[in-house]
Structure 1
Amino acid sequence: MQQHALALLRVLLSYYMTNGYAVAVGYLLISAGVGLALGTTAGAAAALGVVVTIPPDMAGPRKGKFRQMIPTPILGVPLFFAVQMLHSSPLELGILIVAGTFVAFLAMAWGKRGAPIAIALMFAIIFSLAVPPQEEVKRLTAALHVTGYFALGALLYVLYSCIVHRWLNPRYRVLMLVDTLLSLADLMRLQARQFGEDSPEMRSEASGGLISRLLARQAALADQIQSTRDVVFESPDSLPRQRLAAMVLHVLDMRDHMIACALDLDTLRQHAGHNTVLVQMHDMLILLARETDNLADAMLFGRKPERPMDYRAQLENLRWAVDDDAMHSDPNRLVTSRNPSPDALVHSLADRIANLNDEVQRLYALARGEGKPNLAAVRASWHLFVSPVAWSIKPFYTLWSWGAPALRHAVRAALAIGTAYVIALLLPWGTHEYWIFLTIVVVLRGSLAQTLERRNLRVGGTLLGCLLALSILSLHPGYLAMILCLTVAQSVAHGLALRKYLYTAVAATILGLIQAHMISASSSTVFALFERTVDTLIGAGIAWLFSYVLPSWERSQIPNLVRRVVKSQVDHARTALDLVQLDAVDNAPELKWRLARKDAYDSLTALVLAAERSLKEPRAVRPPLQPLEMLQAHAYQMLAQLTAVKTLLLLRRGSLPGERLEQPLTRASERIANLLNGKEVIVDTVNADEPAEPVREPTLAAGPEHVPQAWDTNLMPWLERRLEQAVLLAAQIRKDADQLLGR
Structure 2
Amino acid sequence: MNRRFDKALRVLLSSQVTTGVSAGFGLLLVSAGTFLLFGQFPASVATVGAIICIPPDHALPRRGKLLSLLPAALLGLPLFLSVQALLSQPLYLGMLLVPATFCAFLAGAWGQRGVPIVISIMFAMIFSMAVPQHLNQGSLIQTGLYFALGSTCYVVYSTLANMLLNGRYRVQLLAQSMLSLSQLMRTQADRFDPATDTPSAGQLMRQQAALADQLQAARDLLLESPRTRQRQRLAAMLINVLEMRDHLLASELDLDLIKSRPEAAAALTSIRGVIDQMADEVDIMADALLRGRKPAPLSDLRPALAALNRLQLESPEHSSHRPSPTTLMRGLTNRVGNINDEILRLNRLARGDVEPDLAAVRTAWQLFVSPTNWSLRPVLVLWRWDAPPLRHALRGALAVGVGYLLSLALPWATHGYWILVTIVVVLRGSLSQTLERRNSRVAGTLLGCVLAGAILSSGAPTWALLVIVPIAQAVSHSFAIRRYLVTAVSATVLSLVQAHLLSAADVPVFNALERIADTLIGVGIAWAFSYVLPSWERGQIPSLVNRTLAAQARHAQITLNLGYLNAVDDEPELEWRLARKETYDSLSALVQATRRSLAEPRAVRPNLEALEAFLGHGYQLLAQLTTVKTMLLQLRLQQGQEQIQEALQLAGNEINDRLLAGRPQAEAGASLSAGAWLEETAFTDPFVYDLRPWILRRLDLACEMAQRIRNDADAALQAGDGGEPEGSPARP
Q: TM-score of the superposition, structure 1-length normalised?
A: 0.94
Distance 1:15 1:684 in 2: 53
Q: Is 1:511 the equivalent of 2:494? A: yes
Is this contact kept in 2: 1:708–1:715, CA < 8 A?
no
Distance 1:229 1:696 in 2: 39
Is this contact kept in 2: 1:182–1:293, CA < 8 A?
yes
What do the CA deviations read for 1:599-632 (whole angstroms, capped 9, x no partner)? 1011101100000000000000000111000000
Is this contact kept in 1: 2:84–2:140, CA < 8 A?
yes
Alpha-carbon spacing, 1:527–1:12, altered in 2? closer, same or farther (3 Å): farther
Within the candidate set 303, 309, 318, 2:293 is matched to 303
2:504 corresponds in structure 1 to 521
Within the candidate set 407, 415, 429, 1:446 is matched to 429
| AA aligned opposite 2:232 | Q
How is 1:359-378 mapped onto 2 (pairs within 5 angstroms)?
359-378=342-361
Q: Is 1:23 the equivalent of 2:23? A: yes
Distance 1:70 1:228 in 2: 23
Distance 2:673 2:219 in 1: 43
Q: Which moved more, 1:24-33 or 1:655-664?
A: 655-664
2:728 corresponds in structure 1 to none
Alpha-carbon spacing, 1:339–1:658, altered in 2? closer, same or farther (3 Å): closer
2:36 corresponds in structure 1 to 36
2:145 corresponds in structure 1 to 148
How is 1:94-493 mapped onto 2 (pairs within 5 angstroms)?
94-134=94-134, 141-198=138-195, 202=197, 205-206=198-199, 210-321=200-311, 332-336=315-319, 339-380=322-363, 382-493=365-476
RMSD between superposed Cα atoms in Å:
1.9
SS of 1:263 mapped into structure 2: coil
Q: Is 1:655 the equivalent of 2:648? A: no
| AA aligned opposite 1:94 | G
Distance 2:601 2:685 in 1: 50
Q: Which moved more, 1:697-706 or 1:532-541?
A: 697-706
1:13 corresponds in structure 2 to 13
| AA aligned opposite 1:378 | V
Q: Which moved more, 1:119-128 or 1:382-391?
A: 382-391
Q: Is 1:622 the equivalent of 2:598? A: no
What do the CA deviations read for 1:508-544 (whole angstroms, capped 9, x no partner)? 0000000000011234444433211110000001000
Alpha-carbon spacing, 1:253–1:708, altered in 2? closer, same or farther (3 Å): farther
| AA aligned opposite 2:306 | E
Distance 2:420 2:66 in 1: 29
SS of 2:262 mapped into structure 1: coil
Is this contact kept in 2: 1:333–1:341, CA < 8 A?
no
| AA aligned opposite 1:268 | I
Is this contact kept in 2: 1:81–1:143, CA < 8 A?
yes
Distance 1:452 1:724 in 2: 45
What do the CA deviations read for 1:696-721 (whole angstroms, capped 9, x no partner)? 77544225752454553x21111100
1:63 corresponds in structure 2 to 63
Is this contact kept in 1: 2:674–2:700, CA < 8 A?
no
Alpha-carbon spacing, 1:353–1:739, altered in 2? closer, same or farther (3 Å): same
Distance 2:666 2:538 in 1: 27
Distance 1:574 1:637 in 2: 16
Distance 1:365 1:696 in 2: 43
Is this contact kept in 2: 1:246–1:378, CA < 8 A?
no
SS of 1:375 mapped into structure 2: coil
Distance 1:103 1:337 in 2: 68
Alpha-carbon spacing, 1:708–1:666, altered in 2? closer, same or farther (3 Å): farther
| AA aligned opposite 2:158 | S
Within the candidate set 695, 698, 703, 1:719 is matched to 695
| AA aligned opposite 1:725 | L
SS of 1:318 mapped into structure 2: helix
Distance 2:674 2:44 in 1: 75
How is 1:508-657 mapped onto 2 (pairs within 5 angstroms)?
508-657=491-640
What do the CA deviations read for 1:3-43 (whole angstroms, capped 9, x no partner)? 11111111011111000000000000110110011111111
Q: Is 1:736 the equivalent of 2:712? A: yes
Distance 2:540 2:248 in 1: 29
Name structure 1 gaps, 5 residues minimum. 686-693
| AA aligned opposite 1:133 | Q
1:689 corresponds in structure 2 to none
Alpha-carbon spacing, 1:683–1:453, altered in 2? closer, same or farther (3 Å): farther
Alpha-carbon spacing, 1:308–1:538, altered in 2? closer, same or farther (3 Å): same
Distance 1:717 1:531 in 2: 73
Distance 1:456 1:705 in 2: 61
1:690 corresponds in structure 2 to none
| AA aligned opposite 1:624 | N
Is this contact kept in 2: 1:94–1:418, CA < 8 A?
yes
| AA aligned opposite 2:679 | A
| AA aligned opposite 1:147 | G
1:691 corresponds in structure 2 to none
What do the CA deviations read for 1:480-522 (whole angstroms, capped 9, x no partner)? 2112211211111011101100000000000000000001123
| AA aligned opposite 1:730 | A
| AA aligned opposite 1:495 | S
Within the candidate set 706, 711, 718, 2:683 is matched to 706
Distance 1:284 1:696 in 2: 37
1:75 corresponds in structure 2 to 75
What do the CA deviations read for 1:296-355 (whole angstroms, capped 9, x no partner)? 011111111100121012222322536xxxx6xx8x543236752121111111111111
Distance 2:310 2:454 in 1: 66
Q: Which moved more, 1:524-533 or 1:240-249?
A: 524-533
Determine what percentage of the aligned residue pairs are the same residue.
49
Point out 4+ residue stretches in structure 1 off by more than 6 angstroms.
Answer: 694-697
| AA aligned opposite 1:33 | G
| AA aligned opposite 1:213 | Q
Distance 1:487 1:627 in 2: 49
Distance 1:221 1:101 in 2: 33
Distance 1:333 1:146 in 2: 87
What do the CA deviations read for 1:521-569 (whole angstroms, capped 9, x no partner)? 2344444332111100000010000000000000000011111111111
Q: Which moved more, 1:525-534 or 1:559-568?
A: 525-534
Q: TM-score of the superposition, structure 2-length normalised?
A: 0.95
1:117 positional shift:
0.9
| AA aligned opposite 2:22 | A
| AA aligned opposite 1:97 | L
Distance 1:403 1:656 in 2: 55
Is this contact kept in 2: 1:277–1:320, CA < 8 A?
no
Q: Which moved more, 1:482-491 or 1:234-243?
A: 482-491
SS of 1:235 mapped into structure 2: coil
Distance 1:582 1:53 in 2: 47
SS of 1:237 mapped into structure 2: coil
Alpha-carbon spacing, 1:472–1:670, altered in 2? closer, same or farther (3 Å): same
SS of 1:476 mapped into structure 2: coil
What do the CA deviations read for 1:567-608 (whole angstroms, capped 9, x no partner)? 111001000101203432233322211110001011101100
Name structure 2 gaps, 5 residues minimum. 719-723, 725-732
